Structure 1
Amino acid sequence: MIISPSEILSASILIVDDQQPNISLLEQLLSEAGYTWVTSTMDPQEVCALHRKNNYDLILLDLQMPMMDGFEVMEGLKTNSGDDYLPVIVLTAQPGHKLRALQAGAKDFISKPFDLLEVKTRIRNMLEVRLLYKKLEDYNLLLEKTVMERTAELRESEARYRSLTELASDWYWEQDENMSFTKVSGPVLEMLGVRVDSLNTAAVGNAADGWNESERALLQATISARQPFLDFVFSRVNADGSLQKFQVSGEPMFNQSARFIGYRGIGVELTPKKA
């Protein structure tokens, strides 16, 4: 992420100082540097309300003020603002106050009397960091929204897919990497007449149950090779001598790491339905 010079110069800045000469000096300095959104107040009790309304990118805050000093203002900003980043540079003539101010949440300090080059440098550096923080925060919110929208789209797509497969087939199925069924919809158990445990043993079964053993072996080889199969037909002879035929299509499933995680597919009974 890159912050352009125009973004820095258009950032919102609030100057808080009970001395008008200090405010005038900073306003002139910032104006000459090209900053376009600079406001000020001599009343520290207004700062929290102003920041809540305008969400400043930077607050230049004097520490020594009557009625409410800069430390109290920072405490108010912490509870008043939903922003985790406190965009404050303190202005102080007391060297001993610098460490305390940083511990209170200030991000930097400017010493009085002002060194104009130092003032411009610290303000620009602070604004660059602040704007990067805001841009990252906005990006994270956008990413979160995109993920939520994409998840909703995938769920909707899956629902449509399931609906279509149910219309186009007698049953839909999914199996894990051990070929145990995890999802089955439709009358598969009633049609196959067996308890479904895995594709290679249940959908085709074994010769003792009347299933065609050569068909079973062919499907087993396809599954072992992790290959898709389309319109695979298998059959069985029932105890009464009648022949039942079924047709299945399936495809292997892999996760993002290309690891095999199972199969999914559809099936239909080809045997004509009795009137």
Structure 2
Amino acid sequence: MPADTIDILNASILIVDDQDANVLLLEQLLQGVGYTHVTSTTRPQDVVALHREHHYDLILLDLQMPVMDGFEVMDALKAEANDDYLSVIVLTAQPGHKLRALQSGAKDFVAKPFDLVEVKTRIHNMLEVRLLYKKLAGFNKILEQTVQERTAELRQSEARYRSLTELASDWYWEQDEAGGFTKVSGPVLEMLGVQVADNTAGKRSALSGGWNASERDALRATIAAREPFLDFLLHRVNADGSQQQFRVSGEPMFSENSRFLGYRGIGVEGASRPLASHQE
């Protein structure tokens, strides 16, 4: 027997009808076909509590009942529903009730007196749809869980990446999408000619000079163009005449939907040496 057929026959079904004869007929019909989880009640006021406990795959619901009719039962079920797909087949001898039943949330209907072949077919088809819906919901849940796990892994990888780059380099920096620095270690601001607030004077002032202007402008242009760069060479002449050499690498950061998030980079500093030796 195919797996889908087994799943359908193992579906849980609740019969709701105030007439014992109708309940008995449907129970015998379903059990004769091979359905293994069929229960029933003649008390419509108990349906919501029963469904809350058992989460039926299908409810066969009579419309004409005392205390609560089928429409009231469906309204109560919808108010309690934690499932977007509530499988209800209404049982009715009133043709005029069919449209109202569908508008009230029923997925299908069976006319009284019962055509047994029609009843079996409609129940099977409804359970087949229900089974597919449950599989889809399960796949979506697995997909959501997988995305959450992958996102967590990416965040862990990002944290490891930052840790390793900081250990493997002399300094590290990050910028947000507007170009603001969110993390800085080393002489990055000086390299780019960025002005910062002078806390002592209460004003903005330029950082120390000596940088090769053309190299610095080229680096700023590369970052502005959101281009990656590797071992970009920068030089600075110190006040004592010695020259420092820096190698800088960086890359733009993008989200999963390709939105620009900012920049990150690392750098290493070479040894200082007298300017004269560099010119020879």
TM category (shorter chain) comes to: 0.7 to 0.9
1:247 Cα deviation after fit? 2.1
Q: CA, structure 1 residues 221+55, in 2 after alignment: closer, same or farther (shift >3 Å)?
A: closer
- How many Å separate the matches in 2 of 1:193 and 1:88? 68
Aligned equivalents of 2:82, 2:254: Cα separation in 1: 43
Distance in 2 separating the partners of 1:87 and 1:228: 59
Report the alpha carbon displacement of residue 249 of structure 1 after superposing the two structures with TM: 2.8
Deviation, 1:125, is 1.1
* Separation (CA, whole Å) in 1 of partners of 2:238 and 2:220: 22
SS of equivalent residue, structure 1 residue 4:
helix
TM-score norm. by structure 1 comes to 0.79
Cα pair 1:62 1:90 within 8 Å, conserved: yes
Deviation string 1:228-267 (CA, Å, 9 cap, x unpaired) is: 524x543222343111121223346677688998764310
Q: Partners in 1 of 2:190 and 2:177 — Cα distance?
A: 24
Distance 1:126 1:168 in 2: 62
Amino acid aligned to 1:140: N
Kindly indicate whether the alpha-carbon contact (under 8 Å) linking 1:212 and 1:236 is maintained by their aligned counterparts in 2.
Answer: no
Partner residue, 2:36: 36
Distance in 1, matches of 2:226 and 2:26, equals 75
Looking at structure 1, the residues matched to 99 and 10 of structure 2 have their Cα atoms a distance apart, in angstroms, of 30
Which structure 1 residue ranges, 5 or more long, are not aligned?
197-207
Confirm or deny that 1:229 pairs with 2:230: yes
Q: Structure 1 pair 182/6, CA: closer, same or farther in 2 (3 Å)?
A: farther
Task: Provide TM-score, normalisation by structure 2.
Answer: 0.77
SS at match of 1:195: coil
3-state DSSP of counterpart to 2:268: strand
- Match for residue 70 of structure 2? 70
Kept in 1, the 8 Å contact 2:11–2:127? The answer is: yes
Deviation at 1:150, TM superposition (A): 1.9
Alignment partner, residue 211 of structure 1 = 212
- 1:186 aligned residue: 185
CA RMSD of aligned residues (A): 3.4
Matches within 5 A, 1:100-249: 100-174=100-174, 180=179, 183-189=182-188, 192=191, 194-195=193-194, 209-211=210-212, 228-230=229-231, 232-249=232-249
User: What fraction of aligned residue pairs are identical, expressed as a percent?
Assistant: 65
Instruction: Report the residue type matching 2:107 in the other structure.
Output: K
Count the aligned residue pairs.
258
Note the C-alpha offset of 1:221.
11
**Equivalent residue for 2:58?**
58
Note the residue ranges of structure 2 that are not aligned, 5 or more in a row: 196-208, 273-280
Cα 1:152–1:112 change in 2 (3 A) is same
Residues in 1 aligned to 2:47 and 2:192: alpha-carbon distance in whole angstroms: 77
Bigger Cα displacement from structure 2, 3-12 vs 44-53: 3-12
